[in-house]
């Protein structure tokens, strides 16, 4: 991968994180910025799992393991300055192998669903592994979330960590040897987390990468997110069939329960959405500025209980809003807390689901002479009210 991309990320984090043009960036000053490493477990195949904790010295810290390049913990301060973990997950490694519904993981080679696991490129047909009958979900049976990644500490101050791996030609049915990296970085000027993705291939393929963190801004395991106020910068969404595959239509959200253009409680119209189970699991078409590869506001989430606010900015064309419908109280997570239905929200910045089978969707094709790049920025603040 290109070194200048890492250098530009370092420069941006060191200078100002993200200029989100908000009134304030409430933070907690204190400790020293840096990166620490600890053992977290061993996979069934004998690979060592390590946990890397990035701390910006201002109240924001993120712990990421090399299995799935997965966010295990994300601590941010509440309105009283008390730091708390806002992502679902497990205290130990073992459950991540068998129980995790992609908690905090990098999903790929193709995030989200591909209908019946089939697509064609340049006249050649491909069949992927089916792991969400009748479709392929988040890369297949052994996707990026179930792989050991190579980790590299790029910088201590600002704290920056880079994961990389090679997805071999034919892995889960995808063509081409794909060299991929994911970089996590924290700003030391404000409470900003940046996740950057890069990929290159030696054969034409499809790529769609995202992080699948489950957020509860009241604190992980603290009730549901139904009272969280959500804003999505999207005037349209992609309707789905009963297997959650897009129909191909791009529909307006106006006068529907899908409309989050102004702040609305997640639970206010949830029962109108339908589905089995009931809830949101839909791709939103982001209102993008004309300038290419520019991060613009995608989402805002506010917890009235904790006062935490999360802004998400991205250069991707879509964001998948998932309201935790399939959580059912059978998972016991961190601190022994049980995760009931709607106990978290996932907001996955991405290309649209099943794009390889819809010519009217933005293309996810990557060719050998090209490079996939994407950046998503999370800004954490607090409100007093």
pLDDT tens for each residue of 29-44: 457 999 999 999 999 9
- Report the catalytic residues: 212, 348
pLDDT tens for each residue of 247-301: 999 999 999 999 999 999 999 999 999 999 999 999 999 998 654 457 999 999 9
Q: What is the pLDDT of residue 385?
A: 74
Q: What is the pLDDT of residue 19?
A: 40
Q: What is the pLDDT of residue 288?
A: 83
The Cβ-side half-sphere exposure at 196, using a 13 Å CA radius, reads: 23
Whether the per-residue pLDDT at 60 is higher than 50: the answer is yes
Whether the per-residue pLDDT at 23 is higher than 90: the answer is no
Whether the per-residue pLDDT at 12 is higher than 90: the answer is no
pLDDT tens for each residue of 82-98: 999 999 999 999 999 99
Whether the per-residue pLDDT at 25 is higher than 90: the answer is no
Q: Report pTM.
A: 0.93
Which domains does the chain show, CATH number per domain? 3-382 (2.70.98.10)
Whether the per-residue pLDDT at 22 is higher than 70: the answer is no
Least confident of 23-27, 130-134, 143-147, 174-178: 23-27
Query: pLDDT-based confidence at 17, cuts 50/70/90?
Result: very low
Q: What is the pLDDT of residue 252?
A: 98
Query: pLDDT-based confidence at 13, cuts 50/70/90?
Result: low
Whether the per-residue pLDDT at 15 is higher than 80: the answer is no
**129-137 average pLDDT score:** 97
pLDDT tens for each residue of 308-365: 999 999 999 999 999 999 999 999 999 999 999 999 999 999 999 999 999 999 999 9
Query: pLDDT-based confidence at 243, cuts 50/70/90?
Result: very high
Q: What is the pLDDT of residue 293?
A: 53
Whether the per-residue pLDDT at 164 is higher than 60: the answer is yes
Whether the per-residue pLDDT at 3 is higher than 70: the answer is no
**166-190 average pLDDT score:** 98
């Amino acid at each position: 991968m290109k070194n200048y991309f890492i250098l530009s990320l370092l420069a941006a984090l060191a200078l100002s994180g993200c200029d989100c043009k908000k009134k304030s960036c409430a933070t907690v000053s204190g400790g020293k910025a840096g990166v620490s490493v600890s053992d977290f477990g061993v996979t069934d195949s004998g690979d060592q799992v390590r946990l890397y904790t990035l701390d910006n010295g201002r109240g924001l810290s993120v712990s990421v393991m090399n299995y799935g390049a997965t966010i295990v913990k994300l601590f941010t301060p509440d309105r009283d300055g008390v730091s708390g973990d806002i992502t679902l997950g497990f205290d130990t490694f073992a459950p991540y192998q068998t129980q995790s519904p992609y908690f905090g993981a990098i999903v790929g080679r193709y995030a989200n669903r591909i209908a019946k696991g089939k697509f064609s490129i340049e006249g050649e047909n491909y069949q992927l592994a089916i792991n969400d009958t009748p479709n392929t979900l988040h890369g297949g049976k052994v996707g990026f979330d179930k792989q050991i990644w190579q980790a590299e500490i790029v910088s201590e101050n600002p704290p920056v960590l880079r994961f990389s791996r090679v997805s071999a030609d034919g892995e889960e049915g995808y063509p081409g040897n794909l060299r991929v990296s994911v970089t996590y970085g924290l700003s030391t000027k404000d409470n900003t987390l940046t996740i950057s993705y890069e990929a290159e291939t030696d054969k034409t393929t499809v790529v769609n990468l995202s992080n699948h963190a489950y957020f509860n801004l009241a604190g992980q395991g603290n009730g549901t997110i139904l009272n969280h106020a959500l804003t999505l910068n999207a005037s349209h969404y992609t309707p789905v069939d009963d297997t959650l595959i897009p129909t191909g239509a791009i529909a307006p959200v106006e006068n529907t329960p899908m409309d989050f253009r102004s702040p609305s409680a997640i639970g206010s119209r949830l029962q109108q959405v339908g589905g089995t189970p009931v809830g949101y699991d839909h791709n939103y078409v982001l209102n993008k500025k004309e300038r290419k590869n520019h991060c613009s506001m995608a989402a805002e989430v506010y917890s009235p209980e904790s006062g935490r606010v999360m802004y998400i900015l991205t250069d991707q064309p879509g964001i998948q809003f998932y309201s935790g419908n399939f959580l059912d109280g059978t998972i016991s997570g961190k601190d022994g807390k049980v995760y009931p239905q709607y106990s978290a929200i996932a907001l996955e910045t991405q290309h649209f689901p099943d794009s390889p089978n819809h010519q009217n969707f933005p293309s996810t094709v990557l060719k050998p002479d090209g490079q996939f790049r994407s950046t998503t920025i999370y800004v954490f603040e607090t409100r007093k009210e």
